[in-house]
Amino acid sequence: MDSDMILILGVTASGKSRLAFDLAKDMDAEIISVDSMKVYRRMDIGTAKPPRQARAEARYHLIDIVEPGSLFNVAAFVELANQAIEQIKSRGKSVIAVGGTALYLKAMLYGLFEGPGTDQNIREKLKRRQLAEGLGILHKELETVDPAAASRIHPNDSKRIIRALEVYELTGSAISSFQSQFEAPKLSHNWTIMGLRREKAEENSRINQRVKKIIEAGLVDEVRGLLAEEQPLSKQARCAIGYAEIIDYLDGKTNLEEAVELIKKNSRRLAKNQRTWFKTFKDVNWLDVDGEQTPEQILTRARQLLNDI
């Protein structure tokens, strides 16, 4: 195995966390969690954090680092992830990053997309033009100054049309020229990227099993306890799948059965979005697995894949 930095990605409930743990034990590595919700303390059941025993056997980073009432963003994640990488390397250990939060994964791999700023005066002027001339005129203008962006942006997407024109007026350059720097980057470290992939029907079945498990493990009581805390949950934390639906249940907006079905539905939608995101990732070595394979067999196949790279 050439790389001492391995990234394991996959959709929700794919088994990537178990593989990361098994591989970390096998390699004497430390694990970086790439998950926008596992950063929150006391949000344990709904985020499917590694169990206490696993965290005693392998060293994890970027789990339980902020309060549920605090805001957390991708820039903070990248800074902390880079610090963790340096700490792990200073101990002579290998790094295993694992997660499914696509934006965090992409930022960790390639850095943040630092696009141009905003100008409220330009934006307001463009909005006035939209009202006076119509959005179609603005989209045609975008076709002239930035045909690449215009081809990607729907003629009815006023927000993105106005943003693209704002960037052009602000910088004299097309927004697509800035985005291309982000979309065709070089890896920020010497990562070996492995993707864990299952058939969609099996992924959906695993999602349903996970939802049943977290409800039985006490998700409702966990959410009730979080809502009772002195500091209110941040908007980001409240929107987390599993938490948002149970909050609605506790607020009397749905019954528990409806909330559970919504968690399943929204988890499937998340998996679909993750699959779409992962198609944009380069140099992923996909490991296709099925329900017949045990975690031990998956670990053996992962070892072989890494040795063959």
Q: Identify the CATH number of the domain in which residue 13 sits.
A: 3.40.50.300
Both 51 and 166 in one domain: the answer is no
The predicted-structure confidence for 245-290, as pLDDT tens digits, reads as follows 999 999 999 999 999 999 999 999 999 999 998 998 889 999 999 9
pLDDT > 90? residue 110: no
* Mean per-residue pLDDT, 129-147: 95
End-to-end CA distance of the chain: 7
| Contact between residue 108 and residue 35 where contact means Cβ atoms under 8 Å apart | no
Task: Check residue 157 and give its pLDDT.
Answer: 86
Task: Check residue 2 and give its pLDDT.
Answer: 45
pLDDT > 70? residue 185: no
Residue type, 207: I
Q: Which of 109, 238, 115 is nearest to 166 (CA)?
A: 115
Residue 197 sits at φ, ψ, to 5 deg, of: -135, 140
| Structural domain span for residue 250 | 5-111+185-308
Q: Which of 74, 88, 281, 94 is nearest to 194 (CA)?
A: 281
- Give the rounded distance of the alpha carbon of 97 from its chain centre: 13
For the chain, the C-alpha Rg in angstroms (whole number) is 22
**Where does a domain end: 140, 166, 183?**
183
**Where does a domain end: 152, 183, 214?**
183
* Mean per-residue pLDDT, 284-301: 96
Q: Identify the CATH number of the domain in which residue 127 sits.
A: 1.10.20.140
CA 34/CA 21 separation, integer angstroms: 14
Both 190 and 175 in one domain: the answer is no
Number of domains in the chain: 2
Both 261 and 294 in one domain: the answer is yes
| Contact between residue 194 and residue 306 where contact means Cβ atoms under 8 Å apart | yes
Both 14 and 70 in one domain: the answer is yes
Work out the pLDDT band at 184, boundaries 50, 70, 90: very low
CA 284/CA 241 separation, integer angstroms: 26
DSSP helix/strand/coil, 49 = coil
Both 87 and 205 in one domain: the answer is yes
Both 230 and 301 in one domain: the answer is yes
pLDDT > 70? residue 169: yes
**Where does a domain end: 138, 154, 183?**
183
